[in-house]
Amino acid sequence: MTERNEANTNVMMGYIEREVASSVALLDRLSPAERPAWLPRLARRSYTFMLDEGVKGAPPDSVLSARVAASMLEGIGARYDVAANAVPGEPEHIQVHLKLMDGMPLTIDYRPPPRIPVSPWFPLAMLGQLAVLGACSWLAVRLVTRPLHQLAQAADALGPDLKPQRVPEDGPSEVSRAARAFNAMQDRIAGYLAERIQILAAISHDLQTPITRMRLRVDLMDDESQQGKLRQDLQAMESLVREGLAYARTLHGIEEQPRRADPDALLDSLVCDYTDAGQRVTLTGAIGRECLLRPQALKRVLGNLTDNALKFGGSADITANLQADGRIVITVRDHGPGIPPEALEAVFQPFHRLEASRNRETGGTGLGLAIARQLTLAMDGELLLRNAEGGGLEARLVLHALEPELKTLAHR
């Protein structure tokens, strides 16, 4: 639009310069009596001629008026004493004053024509082009970022079960190369862990035979005092091997699939087992509905947490409730000494024990909380520890469980 207006203005300036010069020359050659009759013939849409002094005023102030005045002055030439001014009170209105050769005054009254209107199709065409440009830009951005989004989803889905989600190896060269590297990384990690599990399983299996022979030999010993100590050492060794293998299996995930279960019945059964054994375990609250759960994994996690609470606090208070957003929250609290704040996260590391001695009876193997955390992650849950007000430790288990009806919708 700017280019078109500039071109039209340049054409108009040249036209005014030629026409005004020829009109002034014609009026100068006519007799004074003939001049009034020729004024209407020489008038144009943007300017007219008047045989009087016109209106005086200040020099033209607008850019267009100044250009028109300069073009008229250049076209009329130096033969005449020419002056130009703006007419007061009216924007874009100028008059050019001069005297003909016989002394008669002549005024050229210039009013700029209205700007060339914009065609009705022009805004629509511009909006259409902007819409097409925006759609193409959105599509281009989506094509570039979709592989990155898929890569991020695959990275988030890479959990402790190590069930890799293959990333499509397409898109821009850099993204496809990152996808290939990520897929290869998933395969290597799964291979390393599978190899580690096989090694631990082989060690556990091979240790069963010498442990059994050692038990037989212990039973044949005459020294009963040494016999009891050796039997305790063998039991500790067997427990350590068993828990180490269990932890390795939880790292590789659990084979149990989510199924419809009643969490309240599971909690009630767990608490009854402990109370029948003479342990101080209480249950408060209820979930109130069936959910999609992994019952065996959940029971294993709660069992580990309850065992820790009984070992270090002498009692366990279990509380269960259902949040408004559909999450299941189960807390297990003891009344023991608690854990230093700086060690609340470290206790989830395998073989980490707060008890300083090497006695397995008092310090344990250091795998209970590690197994509980890994099983919780495999269930897409969250397990946190915090020191409760008034003393004791509180373990908070949060599960994002779906209602059974939602499973059918998800498969559809």
pLDDT of residue 127: 92
pLDDT of residue 372: 85
Q: Is the pLDDT of residue 404 over 50?
A: no
pLDDT of residue 357: 37
DSSP tag of 103: S
* CATH number, domain 255-411, options 3.40.1190.20, 3.30.70.1520, 3.30.565.10, 3.40.980.10: 3.30.565.10
pLDDT of residue 268: 93
Closest CA to 106 of 58, 55, 53: 53
- The lowest-confidence range among 142-151, 257-266, 291-300, 330-339 is 142-151
Q: Is the pLDDT of residue 402 over 60?
A: no
* Reported confidence tier of residue 265, pLDDT bands at 50, 70, 90: very high
Secondary structure of 131-189 in HEC code, one letter for each residue = HHHHHHHHHHHHHHHHHHHHHHHHHHHCCCCCCCCCCCCCCCHHHHHHHHHHHHHHHHH
- The lowest-confidence range among 129-138, 315-324, 334-343, 398-407 is 398-407
Q: Which residue has the higher pLDDT, 20 or 199?
A: 20
pTM listed for this prediction: 0.49
pLDDT of residue 405: 44
pLDDT of residue 409: 36
CATH class of 2-110: alpha beta
| End-to-end Cα, the chain, rounded Å | 55
Residues 6+ apart with CB under 8 A from 121: none
Q: What is the signed CA dihedral for 247, 306, 293, 383, rounded to 10 degrees?
A: -70
Q: Which residue has the higher pLDDT, 200 or 112?
A: 112
CATH number, domain 185-246: 1.10.287
Q: Is the pLDDT of residue 120 over 90?
A: no
Query: How many percent of the chain have pLDDT more than 90?
Result: 19
Question: Residue range 212-229: average pLDDT?
Answer: 74
Closest CA to 406 of 261, 299, 291, 309: 291
Spatial separation of the C-alpha atoms in residues 17 and 74, rounded to whole Å: 7
| Most confident region among 41-55, 89-103, 243-257, 338-352 by mean pLDDT | 41-55
pLDDT of residue 362: 47
> Residues spanned by CATH 3.30.450 within the chain?
2-110
| Most confident region among 6-10, 305-309, 399-403 by mean pLDDT | 305-309
pLDDT of residue 360: 41
> Residues spanned by CATH 1.10.287 within the chain?
185-246
What tens digit of pLDDT does each residue of 72-108 get?
A: 887 787 778 888 888 887 677 888 888 888 889 999 8
Spatial separation of the C-alpha atoms in residues 383 and 158, rounded to whole Å: 18
pLDDT of residue 403: 54
* Reported confidence tier of residue 269, pLDDT bands at 50, 70, 90: very high
Closest CA to 343 of 286, 380, 387, 288: 387
Residues 6+ apart with CB under 8 A from 346: 352
Question: CB 319: neighbour CB atoms within 10 A?
Answer: 17
What tens digit of pLDDT does each residue of 329-364 get?
A: 999 999 888 888 888 888 887 766 665 433 344 445
Q: Which residue has the higher pLDDT, 312 or 165?
A: 312
Q: Is the pLDDT of residue 112 over 60?
A: yes
pLDDT of residue 407: 42
* Reported confidence tier of residue 318, pLDDT bands at 50, 70, 90: very high
| Most confident region among 51-65, 182-196, 251-265, 281-295 by mean pLDDT | 281-295
Q: Which residue has the higher pLDDT, 172 or 41?
A: 41
Q: Is the pLDDT of residue 311 over 60?
A: yes
pLDDT of residue 397: 93
> Residues spanned by CATH 3.30.565.10 within the chain?
255-411
Query: How many percent of the chain have pLDDT more than 70?
Result: 83
Q: Which residue has the higher pLDDT, 68 or 387?
A: 387
Calculate the alpha carbon distances from 323 to 63, 275, 288, 314, 399 in Å: 72, 28, 11, 29, 10
